[in-house]
Structure 1
Amino acid sequence: MDAGVGAVVIDEEGRICQVDADWSTSLGLSQETLLGERLDALLDPPPSWDLLTASRPWRGELRLRCGGAGERWLRTHLVPVLDEAGRMRCCTLMFEPLPSASAHQGVEGGSRAQLLESVADSASDAIVVARLERLEVIYANRAAHLLFGCDPESRDMIGRAGGQFWPEDGLAVLEALLPEALAGGWRGELRQRRLDGSEFLADATIFALPSPIGAPELVAGMLRDLSARQQAERQRRLAHFALERSGDEVFLLDAEARFVYVNESMHETLGLSRAQLLTMSVPDIDPLFPQERLQELFRRLLDEPSIRLETIHQRGDGSRFPVEILASHFVVDGEPYYSCIGRDITERVAARRALEESQEYLDTLIDTLPDALFAIDAEGVVTIWNRAIEQMSGVPREQVLGKGGRAYATAFYGESRPMLIDLVFAPPEAREDILRCYDYVHRDGDVLLTQVYLPRVFGGRGAHVWGKAAPLRDAEGRVFGALEIIRDITELKEAERALRLSEARFRSVVSNTPVMIFEFDADGVFRLCEGSGLESLGLEPGALVGQSVAGFLGADTGVETHIAQAIGGDKVQFTAALGRQVFETYFNPVRDPGTDSGVSVIGVAVDVTERTEREAELRQRTDELTRFTYTVSHDLKSPLVTIRTFLGFLERDIAAGDEARIAKDLGFVRNASERMTRLLDELLELSRIGRLVNDPTEFSLREVVDEVLELVAGRIVERGVEVTVSDAPAWILGDRPRLTEVFLNLIDNAVKFMGDQSAPRIEIGLERLDDALVVVIADNGKGIDPRHLHKVFGLFERLDLEGDGTGIGLALVQRIVEVHGGRIWAESPGPGQGARFCFTLAGLELRTAG
């Protein structure tokens, strides 16, 4: 049987790894015999290794050993497949008979397609075969489908026009390179286009497939996507650039510690050229690492991923400097290498040395402090225990340093218990237990202060101590420990006790005096301030010491002049107003008997606020009584005049027997008498306010408003008024019946004076005015002329003369509000634009019910 078309694949070692079984059988060769053998078992002579690993395909004739059939020359097409590094991964050798008519028929048959598919479909490179005439794809392996974005399962790339896989200008490039490709093959980089339109750069090999009829009919292409290689190459260049420009020394060593690579920083730092360093080994620049120690380090690197150490490097001029080395181990082609990064740590070593010196200085300083001091880390382990605390506690530092479990507390209390320092790290839920161990703890930011008596210190003598604890923070502000300072204040406590006894005797005389007694110096600054008169100002004895007298009494009193007069030796008397308080003030100079010069001034201030208020109230009541007398005489006289007038008419009409006019006269008399009765009742009610007071109770704003709305419900329904009430949780402490009158009067007035409003509306709510809570009752009724707003609360003032009011209601409301520590006012843009009545109460607040 003649040798037909067949193929053989060899691996990267040149051994046969795949054979076309039918073809080998037709040659009288066993597939099992050939697998694993070198090519000289099949070819005589075999192609050279350079030819097998070349980057381009090769075509030629080779002599085939045909087993028992002898030898035969076959046309051979050799296609190497290389990896990304250019090394041969495998090589396919395709054989076909030398040209003849029968061979031509075989090429056109299906055996070639089956062969190409079986051999090439497993390749990682894309392989595409197209007809030269129309560039129609007749074969594409799996890698080609994936590279060009086609479905490898359906083989949908086959049958497509090859032009759609080229960019717009790509076909012109193909036409230019085809002659070379057909002549012997072409290789280079080409831009290709995927099915989705995206483009990519490929390493391409294009060549004509042999044809038995002579002229090539098929052209094949092998393509490799360069995107990954470009990225890898870019990363390699960047990595190399980073290594070269690194501020650290970077070098590679072989197994003998010889330099096989050094970066730019290393040869600049050492003052040696790269060429010099590449002839040297580590002991030439590192006096601390002879070969024996290096080999020990290399052995450790076999078990450890990396090792960090400090050593010394020597420059070319002989100077030395400290370095930190990070070393690791890797293997290339079976040979061990060592990657090292060296960093100049001259500044670090200097800083470390300075830190050690500073630590020694700090230790000495802490030991010479007169106050007892100790510190702990975040785990509660004692890190500092100075000499003063040794003397106080009687416990040497060797017994507590490095100890946890509150060993510091045992030194003071004989047991493990919380101390002030524990508050630094204590979670919120544990702080209460610690605070119970002390009478008080004052916090000033992060600093904690306390005083306590320690009975066990100083050999059982005991001492009153002042304690101060604070967190220790690093440069970033993180807490890494805590410090407590303990100071013996026993002598201070005894001195304070003696001073308190002396002061108590003095204060027992001064503090019970019902005036304010003070002393100030020549600069006008308080030295002393005592007396029960301070209570009216809400001040504690001594609260004004160190403050300016002029600033306290106020410049408007002319106090600076009075101070100058008193310092000059004159006695001064004047009245000073401090807020609502009024003081009758006396300055008496204190003179130095030796020089007769003024050294200070003793002052006495008597609170005359109540007397002044009573005098002002008396004047106000006198003025009000005068106005009241005039107003009452006028308003009461009006119904009396009406009664007297219609009594005369009544006598005349009775005499005349005119019953109709008699009834009319009696009606006028009755109305006038009823008006007088209402006036007298409301005047009596007004007079009672402030004298007759109900016990204060607490109730919600909504309760009293709902009660009033029920009382005026008839008028509201009759007039069709829409009422809106706020749901704010407001509560009132006061005289409920009186405050009910306030809401009743204001809401009833809002309904009564709604005018001809077609959609009457009343809103009852709350607002904030500065710090005060304000009740607002607003309507859209008749409104009030802004010129008359100041008169609405006047006694007997009636802005609407058509109404049936007495003019006392709003005066009554104002009086009730003022008795409750509030004020009331009215607002209105003008007639026909509604009005707002607003008032405050001392006992009004917002809070949750209950």
Structure 2
Amino acid sequence: MCNGHYLIERIGPDGRYLYVNDAWCVRHGYSREEALALRIWDVDKSTAEDEWHAKWTRRKELGLAGESVWHRTKDGEVFPAQVEVLHMNVEGQDCDFFLLRDITEHEAPRSRPRFTRHVGNDTQDAVLCIDRNSRVVFVSDAVSSQLGYSREELLTFDIYDIYPETPRPWEIHWRRLAGIGSLTYATFGRRKDGTEFPVEVSVNYIEHNHQGYILVFPHTVMESEQAEREHRQLVNELRDGVFVIDSTGRFIMVNECVVQALGYPEHELLSMKVHDIDIHLSAEEIRELIRRNQRGETLLFETAHKTRDGSVLPVEIKSSTIFYRGEPATLAVARGLRERKQAEQDLRDEILRRRILINGSSDGIVVLDPQGRVREVNRQFAHMLGYSTEEVMGLRIWDWDVTYGKEELLNILDALDDKGDRCKSLFRTKDGSTIEVETSANAPVIGGEKHVFLVCRDVTQRNRMERAIIEEKERLSLLNTVAVTMSHCLTASDVLRTGIRLACKTTGHDGAIIRAISPEGRSRTMASAGLTQQERAQLAKLMPRAEMLKRFTKGQASIRFGESEIAQGRSLSEPTFANALLVPLVGRGETLGALCLATRKKRPSTVKQDV
């Protein structure tokens, strides 16, 4: 158990190490005695002290678990490992048995940054290149000026001659850098005159011609402070909130936007953890998200943050793993969703209001595309045509508008603009009948696309009423003219001739007849003009019988006149005769008979008048 490729550790319920194998000691840089004095959160950066008990309980229930972790060595190196955990009882004591596999070489290609700058003798930056044996193989003039050595002298040095505090042994440090790709840490440099100065070193691992090298970019503290100030200023100018979070979920950096949005002072936020402000995610869920980030995932999700005054801010979070001050951390960028959510709600409310207005309209409303297809329709339009709204959505304008043909309708739609137009149309309903419609149309361009809006009103009943009113006025005018003229006639013959003449003159017809009807239903022609004998005989057959005439004069019935119903005192059309007027004659409550006055339209040939 002490040998092999696996790093083996056994942990007790209090998090203390109970056993580690030799491979574990070599990789972590501790002796076994030093290791047994540690607790797991001293080594495992993925485990916080306050979450150990929850993990222990969960593993005790499951028995076996697997996950990815980050371990810290004695000299500060951080490396990724894949771990299998088995909860077991050894010598009467519960413990977690860990089998770790170092996956540095597997993770390095994903985390290693690309070094694309050409490093030459004319670079203005301070740059050194170190080989696997810690020897300087390249140095820029800026480093020579900084240290006071010539380039030739520096090429005989190793890294420890320049930066004495570089972690030792070099082989372990090399492996660490090769695994994580880049690292930034503070140290000091030693000049030729023996003076020392503080410096921040950024190192990057690169490969050239299948050989590994370490590029060192030394920055004096003044340069580093200036760079950090510029970086912080840039981050503070962002309109999004920026958090940097350690593996336990604690904030280690926030920008000004976060401070203003949440209402906490910066120093107070840096003492808090994510679950202190997140109202949807538990501490365990947050740690799981951080572990997923550490495995290389970039996450995008929505949640909500609680401000200092208790209000809630909906946010969209994008998180990923970065190295911050030489350590792996989670970068979370929070974009406020309050304005977007409010805008979305306002839009939904506006759509609902407009839908209520459209569906509540007594007019039919339909929206078409330039090809005549239905884009939107209200219930009244569908009801007007006798369809359901779903059925109308499958129609085109020429399926109901029979005023014009398909091509004419398309030309009309093409010519329409946002100035609008009005017209009268004839629509065909689902059952094949037609209705008269007044249409108001306009065609605005919305989102770069033309929309044709039609507001349609069914005027069939209104037009029928208007025509009936016109006919009634004409009838009353005829009766009045007849009555006034006949009142000046001296004899019955004058009355009859005047009636015939006025009937033809008033109606513009060339034929007329007056028939008298007795109470028994017998009738005879009193006078006629412009009618043939056959037409007079046809009218005689249409005269009502006695019983029907009696009921008619009392207003109890209408009399069938050819294909038309004749109500009392009404003038209606009949196939042969253009107008037929039936006037009851009543005296002392008794039916004395009736007079029938009928006219016919002009014919091409002239018929001899017979009075």
Q: What TM bracket, shorter-length normalisation?
A: 0.3 to 0.5
| TM-score (norm: length of structure 2) | 0.37
Max Rg structure: 1
- Return the structure number with greater helix share: 1
- Return the structure number with greater strand share: 2
Kindly indicate whether structure 1 or structure 2 has the higher relative contact order, using CA contacts under 8 Å at least 6 residues apart. Answer: 2
